Amino acid sequence: MELAHLTIHEVHGKLSRREISARELTESALARIAAVEERVHAFITLDREGALAQAAAADRLLAAGETNPLCGIPLAIKDVLCTRGLRTTCGSKILENFLPPYDAAVIEKLKAAGAVILGKASMDEFAMGSSNENCAYGAPHNPWQLDAVCGGSSGGSAAAVAADECIAALGSDTGGSIRQPASHCGVVGIKPTYGRVSRYGLLAYASSLDQIGPLTKDVRDAALMLNAISGHDQRDSTSVNVPVPDYSAALVEGLAGLKVGIPREYFGAGLDPEVAGAVRGTIRLLAEAGAEIVEVSLPHTEYGVAAYYIIAPAEASSNLARYDGVRFGYRDLAAETLHDMYRQSRSQGFGPEVKRRIIIGTYALSSGYYDAYYKKASQVRTLIVEDFTKALAQCDALISPVAPTPAWRLGEKTADPLSMYLSDALTIPTNLAGLPGISVPCGLSSAGLPIGVQLQAAPFAEEKLLRLAFNLEQRLGLVGRKPALA
């Protein structure tokens, strides 16, 4: 098997024993990218020279006795995270040539660990999308079926992991943007608790919802990545100063004493029968592993999408005001007045979906409409938080589908934004409540497309999620299953 096909913990052992070098591992990943990237399109920017230089530095660290499990590991980074001196576009033409002068907090942590950054992964523009088709540089293709979407907005990160173009990746999750593409691409994706991982250096979409997390080939790797990026950061006012446990220690066999809830609202109309069947089969495996299964209710779930698509665009309207052509980013040089420069730079630099959400958000915040829309959505958000609080008082975690359907064909929903928005109906409530959630592969559809199962828990209960996910993974036996991408 090629080195790029392995997991973090597998290659860490080889690196530690000096059976392979970080340079050999990085060259294997770069060779894999050269072989399949023309079909997958997972990357916006590839940094071959920088990656090899980082691999050489990692080899020096390993020779000196470095034991960090991420030392020498080639990673893909969602193009929403600032990387000093490496182009960061956020999937948008307005930042086509932007070179950040600093690293995001998570990038600082990865570099300190000795990780190797291969490049920046494709994404929906400013993380606004459910299919990664809103990227200004073209949509990535699902490695399991090249005419299918990868999911969004971290579709490039999920595709790169699924296609073995990297060992693991980072994404961000505002309404499901890690878990949904992880489900569609057959990889593991975890959205940590809001405040668990610093957002410093993350190009903001919706600041009260965004959270950074890993996409990996198995649950053990997710724990290793989460260990590396978690922790308090004074530069992020929403970062919570709570101890970070060793997530790898949570990966123990058996679920005796754990109670798992099934939200009845997540199994209603619109759920694909194959998805429902795969998830219910997974629930039976939990029971066999010793977990107690109970039914719970999240009665305000049906209002989640509506609340999200007021709150998130409202925050985006504010956050994206900084992209005005003045200090950085695209500027229309033909504009004759300051007003024209603002209007034309933003009109030409932003794509249709971003402009749609800015308009929605600005309207929702405007005089005379704030109470009717933003205030009402915030009240619904509070009700959703209360729903989760009550449900999680009855159990340790919740289990449900990640998405109502497997991945759809590229172009199938681009003319129907509402249908696209509804594809996140089962992941959005997690973000509104600030909870941790994880997607784990649990099967394939009859068309050969991956299906994921979602686990959610109380704030800062990632250990419970990882324990549940690890036990499911062991019983499902799907680790190492690869798409038929020659």
Q: Which domains are delineated in the chain? A: 1-486 (3.90.1300.10)
Q: How distant is the alpha carbon of residue 154 from its chain centre? A: 5
Which amino acid, residue 130?
S
Instruction: State residue 478's pLDDT score.
Output: 87
Residue 260's Cβ-side half-sphere holds a number of Cα atoms within 13 Å equal to 27
Catalytic residues: 78, 153, 177
Longest CA span, the chain: 70
189-227 pLDDT, tens digit each: 999 999 999 999 999 999 999 999 999 999 999 999 999
What does the mean pLDDT of the chain come to? 97
Residue 479's Cβ-side half-sphere holds a number of Cα atoms within 13 Å equal to 18
**Which residues make Cβ contacts (< 8 Å) with residue 391, sequence separation at least 6?**
261, 263, 296, 297, 298, 398
Burial string for 222-247 (b: 16+ CB within 10 Å, else e) reads bbbbbbbbbbebeebeebbeeeeeeb
Please tell me what DSSP assigns to residue 99: -
Phi, psi dihedrals of residue 77, rounded to the nearest 5°? -120, 125
Which amino acid, residue 302?
E
433-467 pLDDT, tens digit each: 999 999 999 999 999 999 999 999 999 999 999 99
**Which residues make Cβ contacts (< 8 Å) with residue 482, sequence separation at least 6?**
5, 164
Instruction: State residue 252's pLDDT score.
Output: 96
pLDDT at 480 over 90: no
Phi, psi dihedrals of residue 254, rounded to the nearest 5°? 95, 145
- Do 299 and 266 form a contact (C-beta atoms < 8 A)? no
Tokens of 469: 């996910």
What average pLDDT score do residues 342-347 get? Answer: 96
**Which residues make Cβ contacts (< 8 Å) with residue 332, sequence separation at least 6?**
325, 340, 341, 344, 345, 348
Instruction: State residue 486's pLDDT score.
Output: 53
Q: What's the pTM value of the predicted model, to 2 decimals?
A: 0.97
Q: How distant is the alpha carbon of residue 210 from its chain centre? A: 10
Instruction: State residue 232's pLDDT score.
Output: 98
pLDDT at 69 over 60: yes
- Do 171 and 151 form a contact (C-beta atoms < 8 A)? no
Tokens of 373: 């829309």
- Do 428 and 400 form a contact (C-beta atoms < 8 A)? no
456/464 Cα distance (integer angstroms): 9
239/250 Cα distance (integer angstroms): 23
Higher pLDDT, 392 or 416: 392
103-122 pLDDT, tens digit each: 999 999 999 999 999 999 99
pLDDT at 59 over 80: yes
Q: How distant is the alpha carbon of residue 208 from its chain centre? A: 16
What average pLDDT score do residues 402-427 get? Answer: 94
Please tell me what DSSP assigns to residue 169: E
Q: Quick one: pLDDT band at residue 1, thresholds 50, 70, 90?
A: low
Tokens of 30: 């770069």
Instruction: State residue 418's pLDDT score.
Output: 85
What average pLDDT score do residues 291-311 get? Answer: 97
398/48 Cα distance (integer angstroms): 42
Using the Cα atoms of residue 402, residue 407, residue 413 and residue 414 in order, give the sign of their dihedral. positive
Instruction: State residue 269's pLDDT score.
Output: 86
Higher pLDDT, 416 or 431: 431
Helix (H, G, I), strand (E, B) or coil at 79: coil
Range in 149-163, 174-188, 410-424 the model is least confident about: 410-424
What average pLDDT score do residues 344-368 get? Answer: 96
